[in-house]
Structure 1
Amino acid sequence: MRDPKFLCVDPSKPFLSLITPVKNAGAWLYDCIRSGQDQDFMDWEWIWVDDHSTDNSLDLLQELAKKDSRIRIFTNPGTGIISALQKALDECRGQFLSRMDADDLMPEGRLQRMVSALNASPSKTIITGLVHYFSESRLSAGYRTYQQWLNKVVSRGEFKENLYRECVVASPNWIMRTDELKAIGGFTSLEYPEDYDLVFRWFKNGFSLQGLPEVTLLWREHPGRTSRSSPHYSQEAFFRLKLKRFTELSYSGSGVQIWGTGKKARLAQSILRELGIPVTLMSLQKKEGLDHYTNITQYQEPQLLVAVYPPQPQLETLENYLHKNAFMRGRDYWFL
């Protein structure tokens, strides 16, 4: 492997391939591309796959590509993000690969930091970093909470422990070796939400995740985000995917216990029963007809899914109870 360079040595043999699926993102394309062009590290190609946009996205890309030969444009041979990502991967010429989304921005120094970190890491390593949400309007409390949670996971390296809680890697905020992604099937056969399923594929194939302590993604929040408007990214879609992967990657076959009786707990119970998994709901309060949460110690080889996320003092009480009884997060219990 040749050493990564700050300057682009040969445009036909870039060190890094950036890949971006695009659909009707004309309002943000220029700023996104400019944030890449302003990076210190410039030995890259940027592969854009247009997913049949009906706005001016394709025109803008073609105009920008005339001025920068590192920008390469293709049309999605299918429909949707997964097909677009696979087309981009098929066209990659770089040794390293990183995804970027058309409405987001790269902070200064992102590429140099991520490339250097991966170059110094062993095989089967994924590098990610911290995120910072921004918006032209007021950012909701929910997005601020998710940003804090994700950055905490990344900073502590607690990816496995939180695997079934939420997606532990922001979709446009990772870098890996191109041939290693191709070796595990690329984006083919992923299920939506595809960014979350890719993380499961990494874990299934023995990859390790490493988080940088700096912000490597400026994540734009706006009403037109696909994650807001597509049913592929609904709460039920996330639950169906992560519980299916739980049964494949972590389930021991002896039944599942769920702490909680609310909406998330009932949804998880329903999906797991569809998958043929015996499920027991357990209440945090004493309720007739339900096991109390403290009875978890009475089960042989319990596998606990925690479908409640109470305020910090109560959360610490619950986790202290589990740790006192030799439960390990990411091995014996997981938060949903």
Structure 2
Amino acid sequence: MNVTVLCGGVGAARFLRGLLDVVEASTVTAVINTADDTVLHGLSISPDLDTITYTLAGATDDERGWGLAGETWNAMAALGRYAEVRPAGSGAAPTWFNLGDTDLATHFYRTARLTEGASLTEVTAEIAAAWDLGLRMLPVTDDRFRTLVTLGGDGDEAGSEVTFQDYFVRLRHGVPVTDVRFEHHDARPTDAVLAALHDADVVVIAPSNPIVSIGPLRALPGIDEALVARRESVVAISPIVGGAALKGPADRMLTELGVEPSVTGVAGLYAPVASALVVDTVDADHRDAVEAAGMRCVVTPTIMSEAGVGAELARTCLQFAR
């Protein structure tokens, strides 16, 4: 059985870890959001690609919840010396986005290969091979593509449009949002991505933020059309449990953008492209509302904080997406 998973960052990484306990890695393709990608210090940084890589390699710092285990921060600390003498208006030496010393190696390699003319798809395959992952990891596009967030509230930046990393990291996703849009110009999903969506036996939408993790993928031409064409074998996992996000601002963002922060709200977003929604047991009483939105409702534990839950969640998805 070939499985294609639409992915954001942490939630998708944990699901993929469970999936790889159930099926052979060679049968899994992860289609990963790149609209969060950014350039800092001249380096090409792909947060979702790297989160998935490090998680599947068993290299993450589980106590901190992000980054590599045993990481050090000497380069960032040294950079602070230059931030103190930075002229007004200069973008040099940003320190709001922490890059660990070991993590820098990934960005050095990616940047050098892209400069040599390699595509992001090619570089991602090389990085996955270096970490001996086994599955196929596909950035959704090789083209320039980014998420832009319009800020609300009454702060100094209210009404301004910023990149996702500005919102998520610099502002610590603590500012209300009034709009999200995806700047993709002529960006298109790669042929490999479209083939993965067409050829898979099952497509799973991972428990990632439906607005800023899965939304960018769906914004590219051809993605939704491919999902609609095979809707009966597409299953989505709700990232909202008991009306709240397990990690990140998904629940607040849904509310701010006029979507009910519940599994029912998630069903409304995914019903056009997926036939089933997997929800946690705490949301079992929403079954009728999910089905009224046009999706089969599958109830099972979805919080992957204990060993075995991810694998069982993966088995359930494969069963109900057939």
TM-score tier by shorter-chain length is 0.3 to 0.5
The structure, 1 or 2, with the larger RCO (C-alpha pairs under 8 Å, 6+ apart) is 2
| TM-score, scaled relative to structure 2 | 0.33
- Which structure is larger by alpha-carbon Rg, 1 or 2? 1
Query: Structure 1-normalised TM-score?
Result: 0.32
